[in-house]
């Protein structure tokens, strides 16, 4: 029988939901059930948890080798509204909720520490804000918020950020949240703990040291500080002009220095880029669009996170074309997340063909009411969004869990989706994938 590509993908998608062998025994992959507690990650599987506190970004990655990587731990003190309500409640700080979520996941793999923590850039909704009531850490060297709260609950073995060690580019910030973070880094250094700078182009800097198993699991650093991977080895090219030659109003702000990476596991790929933007001030400063450069360095992926929370100045058309994901994740925590212009692009079939789902970790009721023609198309509007990749990376599901408490109750399941882009020519538009959904 002659098999078309669509027939092959349909068969593969069906097979992805069947029992397979793992560690010598048959088990149902990703057999989560709506209304029940999220199941532990299966042996050899990959989980990507987009944690929804309503106060900033935080993502926990549990690798197939048992490693752990957290990206950001936002703790914005912006009041609600316009910020979303703190979830699960105001009984704890956002960083505490994030740390406790991570501890539940780490307990499932017999660990009590985070292998690696990446701070994509230095803003409160990614590393933690401070105020007069922010408590001091034991010893008083810094205050507990965001990443420092997480470290107090699940100690961070290796901390990576874009500015270590001097945090001088583009200028040294004296903001209280930045001063607190640097005090935390100094305390880590004094205690002999590992800290380093994120390197554009590096392969597996974000993986656990000495993790040799699962050669088909890798993380490529795509961009940081205006440098973008060339696609050759671990080399990077500069995209920013000399900062010294710019007038003050043209010096790129903190978001544009964000770190971006692509995670790959077998046929599955995932893209995240902090708060990179595509804004060029209507073409006046084209070099500011590091977002598109990073997306082109990545190539097509299955899942992509919208940079800058889905704001109007990010997730541009060229980025969407370059990534062409089946699944978008919007890490929303504010009434302007996501913007209508961004959401319109995410659903636009003229940018790339095929179905796609968009998951938001939160949505302000007024935002939803103002634009139902787009907001009603969201696959989810609240809750932790967990991407569960099957062992080997051939398929994945998206599981949404309730963030109203710490019960990790499953509220919706989507998939399985086939990870098929690796057999495509990345220069051609992505072709539609079949997908079944249960929710």
CA neighbor of 85 nearest in space, from 405, 362, 381: 362
Contacts of 213 (CB under 8 A, 6+ apart): 65
* Residue 237: pLDDT band with limits 50, 70, 90: very high
- Window from 27-31, 241-245, 324-328, 426-430 with minimum mean pLDDT: 426-430
- Window from 79-83, 132-136, 164-168, 420-424 with minimum mean pLDDT: 420-424
| Per-residue pLDDT, 8 | 33
Cα–Cα dist 133/163, whole Å: 27
Residue 8 Cα distances to 3, 246, 396, angstroms: 6, 53, 17
Establish if 354 belongs to a structural domain. yes
- Window from 11-25, 169-183, 185-199 with minimum mean pLDDT: 11-25
Cα–Cα dist 217/306, whole Å: 22
Q: Is the pLDDT of residue 427 over 50?
A: no
| Per-residue pLDDT, 21 | 35
Name the token pair of 423: 């057999």
* Residue 211: pLDDT band with limits 50, 70, 90: low
Rounded mean pLDDT of the chain? Answer: 89
List strands edge to edge, sheet with 156-161: 194-197, 156-161, 114-119, 68-71, 59-62, 46-50, 384-389, 395-401, 410-418, 435-438
Higher pLDDT pick, 303 / 29: 303
Q: Is the pLDDT of residue 174 over 80?
A: yes
| Per-residue pLDDT, 18 | 35
Q: Is the pLDDT of residue 256 over 70?
A: yes
Domain carrying residue 350: 5-17+25-84+197-438
pLDDT digits (tens, 9 = 90+) for 378-388: 999 999 999 99
* Residue 311: pLDDT band with limits 50, 70, 90: very high
Q: Is the pLDDT of residue 154 over 60?
A: yes
Establish if 236 belongs to a structural domain. yes
Establish if 136 belongs to a structural domain. no
List strands edge to edge, sheet with 227-229: 236-238, 227-229, 217-224, 260-265, 268-272, 303-305, 327-330, 357-360
Establish if 190 belongs to a structural domain. no
Establish if 95 belongs to a structural domain. no
* Residue 428: pLDDT band with limits 50, 70, 90: very low
Give me the mean pLDDT over the 268-275 stretch.
Answer: 98
| Dihedral sign from CA coordinates of 372, 373, 375, 380 | positive
| Per-residue pLDDT, 420 | 80
Give me the mean pLDDT over the 371-377 stretch.
Answer: 92
* Residue 435: pLDDT band with limits 50, 70, 90: very low
Ramachandran quadrant class, 383 (left: phi over 0; alpha: psi -120 to 50; beta: rest): left
Strands 260-265 and 217-224: antiparallel
| Per-residue pLDDT, 213 | 73
Establish if 188 belongs to a structural domain. no
| Per-residue pLDDT, 48 | 98
Total of domains in the chain: 1
pLDDT digits (tens, 9 = 90+) for 79-112: 999 999 999 999 999 999 999 999 999 999 999 9
Establish if 185 belongs to a structural domain. no
**What whole-number percentage of the chain has pLDDT above 70?**
88
Q: Is the pLDDT of residue 212 over 80?
A: no
Give me the mean pLDDT over the 37-48 stretch.
Answer: 96
* Residue 22: pLDDT band with limits 50, 70, 90: very low
Establish if 355 belongs to a structural domain. yes
Contacts of 52 (CB under 8 A, 6+ apart): 87, 361, 362, 382, 383, 384, 385, 403
């Amino acid at each position: 029988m002659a098999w078309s590509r669509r027939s092959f993908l349909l068969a593969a998608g069906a097979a992805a939901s069947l029992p397979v062998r793992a560690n010598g025994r048959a088990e149902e992959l990703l057999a989560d059930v709506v209304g029940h507690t999220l199941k532990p990650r299966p042996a050899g599987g990959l989980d990507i948890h987009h944690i929804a506190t309503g106060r900033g970004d935080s993502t926990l990655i549990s690798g197939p080798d048992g490693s752990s990587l957290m990206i950001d731990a936002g703790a914005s003190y912006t009041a609600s509204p316009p910020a979303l309500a703190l979830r699960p409640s105001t009984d704890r700080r956002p960083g505490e909720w994030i740390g406790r979520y991570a501890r539940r996941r780490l307990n499932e793999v017999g660990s009590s520490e985070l292998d690696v923590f990446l701070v994509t850039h230095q803003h409160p909704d990614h590393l933690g804000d401070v105020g007069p009531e922010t408590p001091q850490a034991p010893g008083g060297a810094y205050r507990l918020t965001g990443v420092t709260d997480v470290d107090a609950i699940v100690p961070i073995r290796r901390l990576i950020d874009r500015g270590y060690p001097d945090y001088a580019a583009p200028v040294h910030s004296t903001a209280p949240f930045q001063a607190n973070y640097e005090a935390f880094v100094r305390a880590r250094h004094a205690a002999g703990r590992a800290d380093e700078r994120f390197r554009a182009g590096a392969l597996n800097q974000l993986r656990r040291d000495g993790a040799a198993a699962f050669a088909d699991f890798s993380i490529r650093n795509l961009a940081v500080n205006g440098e973008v991977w060339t696609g050759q080895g671990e080399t990077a090219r500069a995209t920013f002009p000399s900062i010294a030659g710019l007038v003050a109003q043209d010096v790129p702000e903190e978001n544009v220095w964000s770190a971006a990476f692509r995670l790959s596991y077998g046929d599955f790929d995932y893209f995240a880029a902090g708060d990179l933007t595509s804004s060029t001030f209507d073409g006046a400063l084209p070099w500011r669009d590091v977002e598109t450069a990073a997306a082109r360095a990545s190539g097509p992926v299955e899942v992509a996170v919208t940079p800058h929370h889905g704001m109007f100045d990010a997730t541009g058309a060229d980025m969407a074309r370059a990534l062409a994901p089946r699944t978008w994740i919007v890490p929303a925590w504010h009434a302007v997340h996501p913007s209508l212009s961004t959401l319109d692009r995410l659903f636009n079939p003229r940018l790339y063909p095929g179905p796609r789902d968009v998951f938001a970790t939160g949505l302000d009721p007024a935002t939803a009411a103002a634009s139902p023609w787009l907001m009603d198309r969201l696959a989810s509007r609240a809750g932790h969004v967990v991407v569960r990749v099957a062992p080997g990376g051939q398929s994945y599901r998206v599981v949404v869990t309730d963030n109203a408490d710490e019960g990790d109750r499953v509220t919706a399941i989507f998939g399985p989706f086939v990870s098929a882009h690796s057999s495509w020519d990345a220069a051609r538009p992505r072709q539609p994938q079949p997908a079944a959904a249960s929710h």
